[in-house]
Structure 1
Amino acid sequence: MNIARHLTIMAKARPDAVAVKVPRGRVHDAAGEKIDYLTLTFSDLHAEVGAWEANLVKRGVREGDRVLVMVRQGLPLIAAVFALFRMGAVPVIIDPGMGMKSFLRCVAHSRPRVLLGIPVARFLSRVCRRAFRSVEIRVPASSSPLARIKAQNPESKIQNNTEVSNNGLAAILFTSGSTGAPKGVCYKHEMFEAQVRSIRDTYEIEPGEGDLSMLPVFALFSPALGMTTIVPEIDPSRPATLDPSKIVRAIQQENVNNSFGSPTLWNKIADYCIANNITLPSMKRVLCAGAPVPAALWEKARKILPNGKLHSPYGATECLPVSNVNGDEMLQNKSACAGACVGRATPEIQIKIIAINDDPIAALADARELPPGEIGEIIVTGPAITREYDNLPAATAAAKIKSGDTIWHRMGDTGCLDADGRLWFCGRKAERVETAAGPLYTEPCEQVFRAHPQVVRCALVGLGARGSQIPAIVIQPASKHFDLAKLAAELRALALAQPHTAGIAHFFHHPKFPVDVRHNAKIHRLTLAAWAASGKAEELKS
């Protein structure tokens, strides 16, 4: 079924319920300063989407067209994407934070016929003509004034135009490219439908809840779930600049129940709350994804969420959510597995651990499944699992395994299943360090050194050729002033205390880790490995 049908359903069932609230400044009343929001009901949002759809059709956009979406977060993104879904066009969404070179490469590869964009996007398409050579139509992306919509159609008549291209391509969403070139993931409507179903059932989400997502794309699920989308005051291209006071103010003022954000962002919010003796009683759940949740954040969440829980969903652009774990379960987790617990499989998802293999695996029968407790490669299947990358047959072959009509996706991650069926994440497969004594995995090793108070971030890297790599740890120190020799000795002592890190004797410090823009949490370890091997890195020595 066309995923846009959910908006039609909500507009019919709950026309006067609030769908979207967009911040537009500040107002003052007897209680003090408040965020001023533009508010749209589900009936309003449905009309807004209809206006976008009518404009796109008028400008020559057709069913099946690939449409590169370069608009602002919040209402423009929601309205544009749902309008494209409704008319059977294919939104192409690329994270501009991946860097201009990679972004332009993705544009050229996806071959959009239409650009729906803000002025700077349309200007870019004129300057970088080679990357945008497939574009025939450029549509300005400006939200239709709601007053004009209602003047044209006072009854906000609700129609269902979602019976097109239901079995065809629904969207192309690009991966972040944190450990390789970004790839366009092909989604069908049935896959989005399965995601909505899984998110609703896993987190027991009910219509009428308020959602504040700090990842713009994730906010697209809110209208389909009947939630009120509270657009956050955050620059999605620079999430590290987040002002936690603005997020807390929005949560308190709007009684927000749900939020999605990286561990980095929620760590800043939690620190702000604790420093100012603030709790967030309206919050039912916080979903933290993009990187493993550090142990300290689980504890902080318990202090600021008296009526809610911190959750860590595990997944990827190709399949989300795969599993989930919450704060209560983390306290109970006792296992022989190393790494970060990411919980049990979500409804309709199956998980297996197979022996690590860097080559394509054509059939599941060719893979060797590992028993509980043994670290290997994570593969998953289910109705939300995407089946291919856009026009990348080699990448598809490397990431997909067939078993009859079933497709298993290779997550590109290492991990293990424990005896109770919980999944433990051990790090990206491409970032494992292959020493002469055997492989080392990032998460089990880095956990040891993250315990040091002087370490903000750390990364396991390998020096030399795979198979005989020398393991090293790069740390991002908490301050600029520290005793190099003392820190080196303390890190080495931590290493010797654990069997799997005892062989790590080389330590480097880097002032600011390279991380992804999307979550501001994924460390580019391969970049750090090249830096550490370049001779420019300063090694800590005791």
Structure 2
Amino acid sequence: MTRPWLDHYEEGVPREFTASNDVLPDLLRRSAERFPDRVALTFLGAKTTYRELWSGVQHFAAALQRLGVRPGERVSVMLPNCPQFVVAFYGALLAGATVVNTSPLYTPHELEHQLTDSGSETLILLDAFYPRYSQIAAGVPVQRVIVTGIQDALPFPKNVLYPLKARREGSWVGVKTGGSVYSFTALGRGQPLTPQAVTVRPDDVALLQYTGGTTGVPKGAMLTHRNLVANAEQARAWMTGLREGQEVTLAAIPFFHVYGMTVAMNLSVLIGATIALVPNARDIKMVLSQIAASGATLFPGVPTLYNAINHHADTPRYDLTTIRACISGSAPLLLETARQFRQITGGANLVEGYGLTEASPITHTNPIFGDQREGSIGLPMPGVDAFVADANGGRLPPGEIGELWVAGPNVMKGYWQRPDETAKTMREQGGQSWLLTGDMAVMDDDGYFRIVDRKKELIIASGYNIYPREVEEVLSAHPAVLEAAAVGVPDEYRGESVHAVVVLKPGATATPAEIIAHCKVELSAYKVPRSVEFRPELPKTAVGKVLRRQLAAEAREARQAGTPQAS
């Protein structure tokens, strides 16, 4: 196949890419050998060197083995970004287990489904989450629970003061250990630090990353060691200016999301970067203070996080100029968000990328220092092939819209125990295993791709295709609008019409008529919203992706119930 994007790679980005045969613990072991005294983790004042981190991971792996964790067994990790997450993740893998990333935001019902579906026999969780687990403990296969708390990672005297503060606020959760419940900090105390050697192969499943919760029952994407290592290596190859052993990564996006895991954690470990851990990305003041305190140079994030920084009242008080490179993922990066963030940081290279859970996750990104094309997801990463497909899987020429297909060493093995779903999502063609993304895209003559929108979120009005992102770009350019979403609602005359859900900037005012008038200047008549709804915030996933389908469903229900909507 032709690859026009190769001619537009930055100097230093390899045109040919072969993934290594490393497994994930190799990345940490090697950085501990190369940069033993380099700070690996910072967390609310606590610091951990690479030597200390590798020692802790070995100790934890040995403790898991003594508890009976076997190679291939699933170990669920339900933690925020904290040192214990990193130790648990690499420790479980070193013991030969498969990690199951588990969202701290899960309800008891969602937690029960994932623990049961994955067959997890070990659960590592924060003490504050234990009450949710206790509600469903009798109905899941978990045999051992390892509990930790934020205080376990804090330096003195914060480790003493934190529980007192939590008790005063009524948020303290005391968990009694014993039986099948173990303390993270006491686990393996006084026992040998070195785990028993187990054979871990690159094509073994390292991670079950659940996805599809907004489109149906969540499915576990089976990501191998090769998938995850390859994607970290692809990111390193792409970011030509990386300084190994010198970078500082602001880790605000959660590690339980594969984007945070790959870019903020695995890539950082691969290059010996310091990881500045932020346990709650919704606390923008904490994010700002950690950027300034750590001197962060790399800041992977999501559009909602950058947008929140752009408009936070405290932003001018902090020095953000150390940030050199940012790859935005998980959701479309609106042009205005990128422009404002670059201005605030004094020119940080904020570029839009693209990926899917099933691809570990990055497949495309704009050049960090080269030709960045606004509104584009950029070029396929080294080792990634991509094309725009018609309904029959044929290749469409540049300029035509179709479904984006991708292939590469970072593409998953399949869905856990779901061969039927795997068959719908993956296709063998031309000697490669292709992932059908479900996203509508277009490629230009130079190999830059642009996501038009989700295939299933397309709005069809009077026979015309309307892609929500195009409408949202216009909505967000209104001076009073903080963020917005466009969804389709039933329309007796047109079939569907555009409904805009808008969040205004603090202190700003606007009327539906003003919003619609603004759109009429920039959009064809059939794309202009017919109704506008104002909300204090938009519903989002844990990583900040706007839940358009939820908004569409709520708008439909409101219309059916006859609830008045602004128009």
Same topology, TM > 0.5: yes
Equivalent of 2:68, from 56, 60, 78? 60
CA distance, structure 1, for counterparts of residue 275 and residue 212 of structure 2: 24
Equivalent of 2:269, from 219, 223, 238? 223
Alignment partner, residue 12 of structure 2: none
CA distance, structure 2, for counterparts of residue 266 and residue 517 of structure 1: 16
Alignment partner, residue 174 of structure 1: 210
TM-score (norm 1): 0.83
Alignment partner, residue 8 of structure 2: none
Equivalent of 1:491, from 498, 507, 516? 516
Deviations 1:496-537 (Å, cap 9, x if unpaired)? 6433x53545113041454323222x2222222222222255
CA distance, structure 2, for counterparts of residue 467 and residue 43 of structure 1: 67
Q: Which runs of 5+ in 2 are unaligned?
A: 1-21, 156-184
Cα deviation, residue 122, structure 1: 4.7
1:295-444 equivalences in 2 (<5 Å): 295-306=335-346, 308-319=348-359, 320-325=361-366, 333=374, 340-355=375-390, 357=391, 366-403=392-429, 405-444=431-470
CA distance, structure 2, for counterparts of residue 372 and residue 476 of structure 1: 34
CA distance, structure 2, for counterparts of residue 273 and residue 158 of structure 1: 49
CA distance, structure 2, for counterparts of residue 483 and residue 313 of structure 1: 32
Alignment partner, residue 168 of structure 2: none
Q: Percent sequence identity over matched residues?
A: 22
Whichever residue aligns with residue 387 of structure 2, its letter is K
Contact 1:506 1:540 survives alignment (8 Å)? no
Alignment partner, residue 164 of structure 1: 200
Contact 2:108 2:132 survives alignment (8 Å)? no
Cα deviation, residue 280, structure 1: 2.5
Cα deviation, residue 177, structure 1: 2.3
Equivalent of 1:517, from 532, 541, 545? 541
The reply on whether 1:263 has 2:303 as its aligned counterpart is: yes
CA distance, structure 1, for counterparts of residue 139 and residue 493 of structure 2: 39
**Compared CA separation, residues 539 and 488, structure 1 to 2 (3 A):** farther
Contact 1:200 1:206 survives alignment (8 Å)? no
- Look up the SS of the partner of 2:310 in the other structure: helix
CA distance, structure 1, for counterparts of residue 212 and residue 83 of structure 2: 23
Alignment partner, residue 137 of structure 1: 144
Alignment partner, residue 31 of structure 1: none
Alignment partner, residue 207 of structure 1: 244
Alignment partner, residue 166 of structure 2: none
Deviations 1:374-397 (Å, cap 9, x if unpaired)? 121111111001131111222212
CA distance, structure 2, for counterparts of residue 19 and residue 467 of structure 1: 60
Contact 1:114 1:137 survives alignment (8 Å)? yes
CA distance, structure 2, for counterparts of residue 251 and residue 481 of structure 1: 28
**Compared CA separation, residues 220 and 179, structure 1 to 2 (3 A):** same
**Compared CA separation, residues 327 and 118, structure 1 to 2 (3 A):** closer
Equivalent residues, number: 500
The reply on whether 1:16 has 2:48 as its aligned counterpart is: no
Alignment partner, residue 29 of structure 1: none
The reply on whether 1:113 has 2:121 as its aligned counterpart is: yes
Q: Which runs of 5+ in 1 are unaligned?
A: 24-36, 334-339, 358-365
510-519 or 194-203, larger mean C-alpha shift: 510-519
Contact 1:508 1:539 survives alignment (8 Å)? yes
Contact 2:219 2:415 survives alignment (8 Å)? yes
Equivalent of 2:500, from 450, 467, 474? 474
CA distance, structure 2, for counterparts of residue 99 and residue 489 of structure 1: 40
Equivalent of 1:507, from 527, 531, 534? 531
CA distance, structure 2, for counterparts of residue 100 and residue 372 of structure 1: 47
Contact 2:77 2:101 survives alignment (8 Å)? yes
283-292 or 266-275, larger mean C-alpha shift: 266-275
Contact 1:63 1:87 survives alignment (8 Å)? yes
**Compared CA separation, residues 166 and 343, structure 1 to 2 (3 A):** closer
Contact 2:95 2:195 survives alignment (8 Å)? no
CA distance, structure 1, for counterparts of residue 201 and residue 493 of structure 2: 49
Alignment partner, residue 284 of structure 2: 243
Contact 1:435 1:466 survives alignment (8 Å)? no
**Compared CA separation, residues 161 and 261, structure 1 to 2 (3 A):** farther
CA distance, structure 2, for counterparts of residue 250 and residue 140 of structure 1: 26
Contact 2:406 2:437 survives alignment (8 Å)? yes
CA distance, structure 1, for counterparts of residue 133 and residue 83 of structure 2: 23
- Look up the SS of the partner of 1:7 in the other structure: helix
- Look up the SS of the partner of 1:260 in the other structure: coil
RMSD: 3.2
**Compared CA separation, residues 176 and 103, structure 1 to 2 (3 A):** farther
CA distance, structure 2, for counterparts of residue 183 and residue 230 of structure 1: 31
Deviations 1:346-387 (Å, cap 9, x if unpaired)? 1111111112x5xxxxxxxx4122211112111111100113
CA distance, structure 1, for counterparts of residue 435 and residue 301 of structure 2: 24
